[in-house]
Amino acid sequence: MRFSSADIVSATVPERFRMVIEELGPTFIKLGQIVSTRGDLLPPEVIRELEKLQDAVPPVPLPLVQSQVERELKRPLGEVFADFGPTPSASASLGQVHAATLISGEPVAVKVQRPGIERTIEVDLDILLELASLAQKRTRWGEHYGVRALVEEFAATLRGELNYEQEGHNMDRFRLNLAADDIVRVPRVFWDVTSRRVLTMERIEGIKITNLAALEDAGLDSRVIAKNNIDILLKSVLAQGFFHADPHPGNFVVMPGEVIGIMDFGIMGHLDPEMLRGVLQIFVGLFRGDTERTVAGMAELGIATKASDRSSLTRDMDQLRQRYYGLELEKMRARTLFDDLMRVVLRNRLRLPSNLVLLFKTIAMLEGVSLQLDPHVNVFTQMEPYVRDALLELESPAKRVRKAASQVIESAEALLALPAQVQRLIEGLQSGDGGMSMRIRGLDEPLERASHVVNRLVLAVLAVAFVIGPALIIPYIQQIWPEWQGAVLVLILGGFFLSVLITLALMISILRSGG
Contact 163, 273 (CB under 8 A): no
User: CB-based burial of residue 276 (10 Å sphere; 0-12 exposed, 13-18 middle, 19+ buried)?
Assistant: buried
Q: What angle do CA 307, 310, 312 make, to 5 degrees?
A: 110
Q: What is the dihedral of CA 357, 360, 365, 368, to 10 degrees?
A: -150
DSSP 39: T
**Pick from 352, 358, 339: nearest CA to 304:** 352
Q: Is 246 a catalytic residue?
A: yes
Measured CA to CA, the distance from residue 10 to residue 353 in angstroms comes to 36
Rounded Cα–Cα distance for residues 171 and 470 (Å): 41
Question: Can you tell me the distance from the alpha carbon of 202 to that of 261, in angstroms, rounded to the nearest whole number?
Answer: 11
Residue 326 DSSP class: T
Q: Please name the residue ranges forming H helices in 94-138.
A: 117-138
Long-range contacts of 189-193 (CB under 8 A, 24+ apart): 190/102, 190/106, 190/108, 193/73, 193/80, 193/102
Q: Rounded to an integer, what distance in angstroms lies between the CA atom of residue 126 and that of residue 242?
A: 30
Cβ atoms 208, 248 nearer than 8 A: no
- Tell me which DSSP letter residue 197 carries: S
Using the 8-state DSSP alphabet, how is residue 86 labeled?
A: S
> Of 266, 97, 108, 90, which Cα lies nearest the Cα of 192?
108
Q: How far apart are the first and last CA of the chain?
A: 85
Cβ atoms < 10 Å from Cβ of 78 = 12
Alpha helices by DSSP H, 349-443: 354-373, 379-394, 397-431
CB 132 within 8 A of CB 148: yes
Catalytic annotation, pick one of 7, 55, 83, 246: 246
Whole-number CA gyration radius for the chain: 29
- What is the helix (H) or strand (E) element at residue 299, kind and residue range? helix 291-300
Contacts for 268-271 with beta carbons within 8 Å, 24 or more apart? 268/170, 268/174, 268/242, 268/243, 268/244, 269/237, 269/242, 269/243, 269/244, 269/245, 269/355, 269/358, 269/359, 269/362, 270/241, 270/242, 270/355, 271/237, 271/241, 271/242, 271/243, 271/355, 271/359
What span, in angstroms and rounded, lies between the C-alpha atoms of 112 and 66?
9
List active site positions. 246
